[in-house]
């Protein structure tokens, strides 16, 4: 008699230990490669979130007072543990997200860049000092952690994004509460144990699993000082508006419609290879994935589409256990259905279906959430598939007559996350860089994601708030400044009362 396999029950991570949920509400966690339920994650109540916040609040004062050097030692140890346990973490990522092992490894590598920057947080915490600004007064500034801060991360990067939006917050002395996507909670729980092993004091790091109920408590609770969010644009806007309404700092990163401009002078073979990797990697479930090509001129477009068609038809879709696949499934059946709906709508509106990936052959032998790569040509700006972000392997080609037309179209779009141009013409590249209204720009770089020590963030409705996900501005986002004017009175000084506004004239305001 076959033994029924028990679905793993997950927990929260509070005060340095795994804690069972008490709400009685759970969400299924799927293995997208098989379609099977592999775990159930608890969905926290507001009271559970409040408790987690109180624990974090109690842990904050001691963590704040710890020297920046000692905090850096703990972050460094955490980094070492991430590397030592990389293979296990890759397996967890692949199980719950469906990514290939190569993609999961790359995700961890990029996440480590954020940890590396956090190890050097002491450099970013240095204040300013001015001697004798007037009247023998010295002025200087200091940076202090905010207190308890929260991070809300998406499903598409179970490790990289959580590390990117929390590592610096921890390193500069905050207590941090992470609310990962309920679709991929296992990775966050896994590296929570690594924080514990690294020596992070209990309560400084918390993982609370949940849905909108948990998020709303984080947004409204007065103890939470700042929120960092990554996800879709509608939710990013909600997070920003609600969080700021409750007087919090908010950095909310939304989606993108990221185009690759293909100039007539570009090497079309190399450009096509760059397009395919950037467009279809991770089943196109990246906010910085190339959404489509803007080919300049009919001849360029015809040649480029022909090259793409041949290459795309040879891509292989399958489970992460097959080392030969190019990408895996989308995250859920609902996601698959949404992508198919977008493809169908594009065809209805007049787009030309070059490659149809709606029914890949693997679906005949697997219940995983698979879609093959789809390419639609002759897409117009009036079409829905042009306007909206499609979080799955359906990419488009837009034909334009000039670089200026491409720039104008991109600038008119409401999203401004990433964009790139492929050309060997320096003048065209310069014009593009100067005129394009997008936050992250590439020149012959297919996915212009900055390295960890440069700021990451889009423009327009791709980002709400003034914070950044990578880079030195993270330290500014998670700290507050204090400016101090200091003078030591000499017993021989003569003092007089003055009612004039203080100025920097030497000898005044003694």
Residues with a catalytic annotation lie at 287
Residue among 60, 78, 224 at smallest CA distance from 144: 60
Residue among 40, 6, 50 at smallest CA distance from 20: 40
CA atoms of 334 and 342, how far apart (whole Å):
12
CB-based burial, 420-450: b 16+ in 10 Å, e otherwise: bbbbeeeebbeebeeebebbbbbeeebbbbb
CA atoms of 166 and 209, how far apart (whole Å):
16
CA atoms of 118 and 440, how far apart (whole Å):
22
Q: Measured over all CA atoms, what is the biggest interatomic distance in the chain, rounded to whole angstroms?
A: 97
What is the 8-class DSSP label of residue 162?
H
Give the per-residue SS3 of 413-434: CCEECEEEEECCCHHHHHHHHH
CB-side neighbour CA atoms (13 Å) of 58: 9
Contact between 276 and 270 under an 8 Å Cβ cutoff? The reply is no
What is the 8-class DSSP label of residue 3?
P
**What angle is formed at CA 500 by the lines to CA 498 and CA 505, rounded to 5 degrees?**
95
Q: Which two tokens stand for residue 5?
A: 């396999």
Strand, coil or helix: 175: strand
CA atoms of 122 and 180, how far apart (whole Å):
27
What torsion do the CA atoms of 439, 463, 409, 349 make, to the nearest 10 degrees? 140
CB-side neighbour CA atoms (13 Å) of 309: 13
CA atoms of 91 and 53, how far apart (whole Å):
31
Residue among 480, 497, 502 at smallest CA distance from 146: 480
CA atoms of 179 and 331, how far apart (whole Å):
18
Q: Where are the beta strands (DSSP E) in 338-429?
A: 352-355, 374-377, 394-400, 415-416, 418-422
CA atoms of 457 and 305, how far apart (whole Å):
31
Q: Which two tokens stand for residue 239?
A: 């997070």
């Amino acid at each position: 008699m076959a033994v029924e396999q028990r679905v793993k029950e997950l927990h929260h991570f509070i005060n340095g230990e795994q804690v069972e949920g008490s709400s009685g509400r759970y969400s299924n966690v799927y293995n997208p490669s098989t379609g099977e339920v592999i775990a159930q994650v608890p969905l926290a109540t507001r009271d559970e979130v409040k408790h987690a916040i109180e624990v974090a609040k109690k842990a904050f004062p001691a963590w704040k007072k710890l020297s920046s050097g000692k905090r850096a030692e703990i972050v460094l140890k955490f980094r070492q543990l991430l590397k030592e346990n990389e293979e296990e973490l890759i397996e967890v990522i692949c199980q719950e997200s469906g990514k290939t092992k190569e993609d999961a490894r790359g995700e961890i590598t990029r996440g480590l860049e954020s940890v590396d920057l956090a190890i050097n947080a002491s450099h970013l915490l240095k204040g300013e000092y001015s001697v004798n600004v007037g009247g023998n007064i010295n002025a200087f500034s200091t940076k202090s952690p905010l207190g308890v801060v929260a991070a809300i991360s998406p499903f598409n990067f179970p490790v990289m994004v959580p590390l990117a939006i929390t590592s610096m917050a921890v390193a500069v002395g905050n207590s941090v509460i992470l609310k990962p996507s309920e679709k991929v909670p296992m990775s966050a729980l896994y590296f929570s144990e690594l924080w514990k092993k690294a020596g992070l004091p209990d309560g400084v790091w918390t993982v609370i699993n949940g849905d909108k109920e948990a998020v709303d408590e984080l947004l409204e609770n007065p103890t939470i000082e700042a929120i960092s969010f990554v996800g879709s644009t509608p939710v990013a806007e909600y997070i920003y508006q609600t969080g700021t309404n409750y007087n919090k700092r908010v950095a909310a990163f939304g989606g993108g419609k990221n185009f690759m401009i293909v100039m007539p002078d570009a090497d079309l073979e190399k450009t096509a290879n760059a397009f395919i990797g950037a467009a279809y990697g991770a089943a196109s479930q990246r906010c910085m994935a190339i959404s489509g090509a803007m080919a300049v001129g009919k001849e360029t477009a015809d040649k480029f589409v022909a090259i793409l068609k041949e290459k795309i038809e040879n891509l292989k879709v399958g489970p992460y256990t097959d080392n030969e696949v190019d990408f895996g499934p989308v995250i859920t059946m609902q996601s698959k259905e949404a992508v198919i709906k977008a493809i169908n709508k594009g065809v209805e509106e007049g787009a030309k279906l070059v490659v149809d990936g709606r029914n890949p052959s693997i679906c005949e032998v697997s219940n995983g959430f698979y879609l093959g790569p789809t390419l639609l040509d002759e897409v117009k700006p009036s079409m829905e598939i042009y306007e909206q972000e499609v979080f799955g392997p359906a990419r488009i080609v837009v034909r334009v007559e000039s670089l200026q037309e491409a720039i104008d179209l991109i600038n008119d779009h409401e999203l401004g996350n990433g964009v790139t141009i492929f050309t060997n013409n320096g003048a065209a590249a310069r014009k593009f860089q100067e005129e394009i209204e997008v936050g992250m720009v590439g020149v012959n770089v297919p996915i212009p994601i900055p390295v960890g020590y440069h700021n990451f963030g889009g423009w327009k409705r791709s980002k709400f708030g003034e914070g950044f996900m990578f880079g030195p501005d993270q330290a500014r986002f998670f700290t507050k400044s204090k400016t101090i004017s200091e003078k030591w009175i000499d017993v021989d000084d003569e003092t007089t009362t003055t009612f004039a506004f203080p100025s920097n004239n030497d000898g005044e305001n003694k």
